Amino acid sequence: MSNMKKRASALKDKLGDKQSDHSYLSRFGERFEDVWPAHLMPQTVLRRLGEYSRKLWVRVLIMGFLSVAALGLTQVLEPLVPDELARTLTGDGADRLLQIIANAMLAATIFSITVMVSVFRASSQQWTPRVHRLIIQDKTTQNTIAVFIGAYVYALIAIILRELGVYTDERSFVLFITTVLVLAVIVIYLIRWVFHLQGFGSLINTTRQIEQVTSENFQERLQNPCLGANPLIDGFPKNARKVLAKESGYIQKIYPETLNSEARAQGVDVYMCETIGNFIFLNEPLAMVVPHGDANPDGQEYDEIDDAISANVVIGDVRTFDQDPRFGLIVMGEVASKALSPGINDPGTAIDVITRVGRILSDYKDETATDRDEVLDRLYVTPLSASDLLDDGFAALARDGETVVEVQVRLQDTLSGLRRHPDEELSRQAKKFAITSLHRALVALEFAPDREQLRSAADKDVVEAVDKMMEG
């Protein structure tokens, strides 16, 4: 903790040195926040749009809208087609294609949904129940179902318009061409869907998907340390006022830009007591608020910042992968832990997970030591801890695989690699975790050659530390 405080102090000094260089940007940011509504901050809007884009119903709605738009476009283009060209294709040809699409897409949609639900259930039973929330956001699956439903809507509306006489037999050239294009899109997505099903829901595909999402969230967090806010290291000011949670649940998301803008408007500083992924109870302190500088906001202004904090800190009943790389590491650890259960007995999966977690953690950077040009100066967030990240990824599998030599050997190899990481805190915590894991395994292993194999895989200073512990 002392090292983190020193790095935080150094970070503040660097930011102070750059204050004059970025004074213009700071003044521009303040003026922008003064004229732009806080809840419509561009970063917050983009983040909310990204959240909605991962929902299946949104993609289905977009494809349905595009289907209607395509039919409307045919009405606009049809009068522009020369008569001789328009009569080369009749409405009967379009009718046959529309009937094929309507019949096929209904069956294809039902089949795709059945496959999706089956994969969700199988993945929850085989790997971990938490992984289905990641699989349900699979882009290929969502896009395929959305295209099938959109094509079905297109065919139904076109058939209705044909029956109503909107499209005549003599003027259906554009409708026929548009229907052919819709069929081409269906074929392309059907081929993609078939290839995707070859690995959809498999272990290797699932672990790779978890690693990818976790790595992306981890990289996003490290590129924007502490969510762009100041690192909360030294605790809360003495004159801080508590903002209590209005419900119990996990902190799923924080919209830091909007929260910082609200704090600036109310003349306060906001210190987050809990970070993303933590569980908080009703009336437990969610944040601490203190006047900024010489500001002394009255009760009404405090009420406004209380409402702003509640509105920009999303609390739910489950943890999510968004903004929470620790949750991804926990899920990967659960996959490995379940693979080591007696009913499955698959140490290879645990070894694969150890490698993937080690690869993710190799990108670690101390958030308090990262140099940044701009900081959300009115917001304070607790930085990620190297110790917590190691526990999230390795603790469960290290405990459940204490008697599996292959798993323990790979764990020691990975921790040895993390000890060579340039960040001193991660290196120190990796050594500490290696000592704990080796001690537990040596106590649990009864076969002497297994113990010797594990001791030879661990670093020399780790073995010496464990020997002292066991002798004492």
pLDDT at 238: 85
Tell me if 406 sits within 8 A of 339, measured CB to CB.
no
The percent of residues above 90 in pLDDT, for the chain, comes to 53
Is pLDDT of 124 > 90? no
User: What does the mean pLDDT of the chain come to?
Assistant: 85
Tell me if 344 sits within 8 A of 360, measured CB to CB.
no
**Cβ neighbourhood burial of 264 (10 Å; 0-12, 13-18, 19+):** buried
Q: How far is CA 155 from CA 236, 340, 357, in A?
A: 62, 50, 47
Is pLDDT of 433 > 50? yes
Q: 471 falls in which pLDDT band (50, 70, 90)?
A: confident
Query: Looking at 176-190, 293-307, 396-410, which range is the least confident one?
Result: 293-307
pLDDT at 151: 94
Is pLDDT of 8 > 60? no
Is pLDDT of 34 > 80? no
Bridge partner residues of 241 (DSSP):
289
pLDDT at 357: 96
Tell me if 226 sits within 8 A of 381, measured CB to CB.
yes
Residue 365 CB contacts under 8 Å (≥ 6 apart), including other chains: 222, 225, 423
